[in-house]
Amino acid sequence: MPELPEVETTKRKLEPLIKGRRILDFDRKILGLERRGKAILIWLSSASPKQYLLAFHQRMSGRLLVVERDFKDKYIRRRFKLSDGKDLAFHDVRKFGVVWYGPAKKVLSDQYFRTLGPDALTVSLQSIKNLLIAKKSGKIKSFLLDQKNLAGIGNIMADEILWKAKIHPEIKISTLSDNEIKTLWNSIRAVLQKSIKLGGSSMRDWFHPDGDSGGYFERRRAYDREGKKCFRCRSKILRKKIAGRSSYFCSKCQVI
């Protein structure tokens, strides 16, 4: 599933291609794009006082593309005609993606948006501390994956963040010291920013709107490296099912 870095990359690359165009299907002008968690919001003009939104959640394999009007692909689930003669297309191999359209108030009342926690890229240290205090009975990997706690982190980023912070994915939140929480917060920002800089992770069928691929997956430190040597201490990377997901961590650097 595209995580925060992939969605942010999509938003940054898509915006200059479509901002200022009109979507002929709705006769509305595209005013700008925004990312909330793992969703992309396209703000549209309106003759009424109400603001309108077209929004997408890419889920497992969704991609947003700008294509020629005669471009055909069996995996394009929705397409919207743009005023420049091209189409905004939602390409989704696995059919899990979500598309919203309507008055902004109605779209943002959807449960996904209503329950989103603070954005993982901009959350403050104090907010992280408060969130962890509120969830002190849980484990840190589960905390990071829950979008109600922090918006945007998925399985890859969670493992990479915890590896950088030297925190075991099963460690109880209640045992984290102030220094460990600060290290975790710094790691969240550092890993997400690095992944965004590298264009995210291109795995299986996810690519940028312009067809480019992300370079973070080749630079990962823990995720999907079972049995390989830790880049930091040369011990083995282990894999274990945690919070229903395969988790990867160092057998020496990350201990409970």
* Positions marked active-site: 2-3, 38, 245
Rounded Cα gap, residues 21 and 7, in angstroms: 21
Largest Cα separation within the chain, whole Å, is 62
Helices within the chain (DSSP H only): 4-18, 104-107, 111-114, 125-134, 140-145, 155-165, 178-197
Hey, CA dihedral for 92, 239, 218, 167, is it positive or negative?
positive
Rounded Cα gap, residues 228 and 200, in angstroms: 22
C-alpha dist (Å) from residue 133 to 117, 143, 181 = 15, 11, 11
